[in-house]
Amino acid sequence: MSITDEPADDRVYVRADALRSFVAELFAAEGLPPDGALTVADCLVRANLRGIDTHGVFRVPTYLKRLRAGLNNPHPQIAVSRVGFAAAHVDGDNGMGAVVGSRAMGEAIRMAQETGTALVSVKNSNHYGMAAYYVLQALEAGLIGMAFTNASPAFPPWGGRAPFFGTSPLAVAVPTGTQPAFVLDMAMSVSARGQVYMAAQAGNAIPSGLALDSEGRSTTDPQALIDGGAMLPFGGVKGAALSMLMDILGGVLSGAAFAGQVGNPHSGFDRPQNVGHLFICFRPDLFLPRELFLARMDELIVAMKAQPKAQGFDEILVPGERERRNEAKCLAHGVPLTRDVFERLNKETRLGVELDYTIQAANT
């Protein structure tokens, strides 16, 4: 890897296609088939493109470590069982989360196109990256998509003090006509847990009000959180309740791990994660003609954007609109990687992975 330009903000700007190819080569070198390696790489790089760096290539070294430890199956025999007219159950066979998740969402899309609606439950999966990645697949197929997942313990049930439920992101995508599509992707915590690991990796503090240490005291030290502390749910009891719902839909329903038993991808190197997911897809023309539905979505968004703006706001955005703009910017000018993330990726080339090209900083 080489750097041709040193950006003023000390970040390395990498062409998205080069970064995707490089990451795919790393996973292929660890035994993933080319299509699976590319799926994982695409999921991670798409997160960086959309500005969700906590679920981007920052996670590559951890994913590789789990593969090397035999904790992820590089060649899963993913089993899909049609269990109802519009329902399927997927056993991910401990495959990479992005591979399992993409297969399951693909099944949901095909079923929804056939029946109008689809419900796909998944067990024996792993951390699947940015939740929006899957609902964007539904959106590109012209469908409404929803993705639920559980996750390893991060914060306590309301009234507790020890980590039990996960940050468990929820994602929903709804198509529109000419206006920006509605794409919601939100964790149940005040902030994504990946931000804590990124802060610890870079030696930075985290904002107050995000986490507690092992004694239940507020902390800005990311390591204090990692070493037995707990994150805080957004909205207090409401976020905590939604996280429990995610554990029900992702874990209890599917047969995956639940009730605090999902393995931690960063520190649980003694066993597979057994994450559970739930994907829902349905056609937007079930109750109205498609064009009328899209026109009504546009009408809603235009009316919303025309509302009086609060002090300090120049415009009102649709959920996902900021990420869409960020993606367009990064495709044009390169994906910005912090120096520490770039250097950790660079180290992987010194662990037996030889590439016949370099990742270069993009011209901005």
**Given this model, what pLDDT does residue 305 score?**
98
Domain boundaries, the chain: 79-282
Residue 361: the pLDDT is: 47
Please tell me the predicted confidence (pLDDT) of residue 199.
Answer: 79
The more confidently predicted of residues 362 and 171 is: 171
C-alpha span between 176 and 13 (Å, rounded): 32
Please tell me the predicted confidence (pLDDT) of residue 350.
56
231 three-class SS: strand
Distance, in Å, from the CA atom of 13 to the CA atom of 42, rounded to the nearest integer, reads 17
Fold topology of 79-282: Ribosomal Protein S8; Chain: A, domain 1 (3.30.1370)
98, containing H or E segment? helix 97-115
> Do 98 and 67 touch, CB atoms closer than 8 A?
no
Q: CA angle, 339 as apex, 338 and 343 as ends, to 5°?
A: 120
User: Which residue did the predictor score with more confidence, 113 or 358?
Assistant: 113
User: Across the chain, what does the average pLDDT equal?
Assistant: 90
Q: What is the pLDDT of residues 184-227, one digit of tens each?
A: 999 998 766 667 777 777 788 888 777 788 777 888 888 887 78
Q: What is the pLDDT of residue 362?
A: 47
- What is the Cα–Cα distance from 200 to 209, expressed in whole angstroms? 17
Whether residue 312 is predicted with pLDDT greater than 70 in this model: the reply is yes
The pLDDT of residue 219 is 85
- pLDDT for the residue 299: 98
Quick: pLDDT tens for 234-283: 888 999 999 999 999 999 999 999 999 999 998 889 999 999 999 999 99
- Residue 360's pLDDT band (cuts 50, 70, 90): low
